[in-house]
Amino acid sequence: MRFEPLTEQHEAEGFSCGEASLDRWLTDHALTNQRRSLSRTFVAVDDTGGHPAGAGPVAGYVTLVAAAIEVAQLPGGERRSLVGLDEIGAALIARLARDRQHAQRGLGAWLLQQALHRIIDADEHLAIRAVIVDALNERAATWYQSWGFRPLPGGPADRLWLPIKRVRSSLRR
């Protein structure tokens, strides 16, 4: 599997993850938002198909966005170490989906790990204190929580977060 930035040569039209809003995002909005620097979408492409880099059918995707978290939304222990700040830098995993044809193969976990690696790389150039995700539904929230994400106490009900220090330590293993 290759993990690479979405291009016009990727075959997104046949993508189906079972959630229409995620399918539509990929086919109707991902490239436009990327061109406008509103988000970055990375795709998983099966590299056994002989497709060159930057092309091929999309097996899964993840969309990343720079974000901020109000310090007041953080748990008390985190807030105490950030006295005097209003917000902290964060990376938002805005979308993550895998095609149904790749169900039960660990592709979702692989996509998450690839996204977290990109976020760690970005933290070398930007200040990213946390990774956040807005879970689409309870099943997605449970899945993200199995990876260590926790509800953001002062945030929206569906917002989960993971401190960047935990991401770093989990990826070292």
What was the pLDDT predicted at 56?
81
Tell me how far apart the alpha carbons of residues 161 and 75 are, in angstroms, rounded to a whole number: 11
Q: Where does the pLDDT of residue 84 fall: very low under 50, low under 70, confident under 90, or very high at 90 and above?
A: confident
Whole-prediction pTM: 0.91
Q: Between these two residues, 173 and 9, which has the higher pLDDT value? A: 9
**In the annotation, is 144 catalytic?**
yes
* Residue 27: band (very low, low, confident or very high) from pLDDT cuts 50, 70, 90: very high
Q: Which domain holds residue 85?
A: 2-172
Say if CB 42 and CB 4 are below 8 A apart: yes
Count of the separate structural domains present in the chain? 1
Q: Supply the pLDDT for residue 112.
A: 96
State the CATH number of the domain containing residue 105. 3.40.630.30
Residue 126 · residue 90 · CB < 8 Å: no
What is the spatial distance between Cα 62 and Cα 42, in angstroms, rounded to a whole number?
Answer: 5
**Is 80 exceeded by the pLDDT of residue 122?**
yes
- Of 71 and 46, the structure prediction assigns the larger pLDDT to 71
What mean pLDDT do residues 44-54 have?
79
Between residues 52 and 93, which one has the greater pLDDT?
93
Q: Indicate if the pLDDT at residue 49 is higher than 80.
A: no
pLDDT score, position 76: 81
Cα 158 to Cα 123: distance, rounded to the nearest angstrom: 24
Burial zone of 129 (CB within 10 Å; 0-12 exposed, 13-18 middle, 19+ buried):
buried
Q: What is the structure's pLDDT at 148?
A: 94
Of 112, 110, 67, nearest to 88 (Cα)?
Answer: 67
Q: Running DSSP on this structure, what letter comes out for residue 64?
A: E
Q: What is the DSSP string of 162-173?
A: EEHHHHHHHHH-
Q: What's residue 173's pLDDT?
A: 53
Report which DSSP code applies to 47: G
Token reading at 28: 């109707």
Q: Which residue is catalytic, options 3, 144, 147, 161?
A: 144
Q: Quick one: pLDDT at residue 113? A: 96
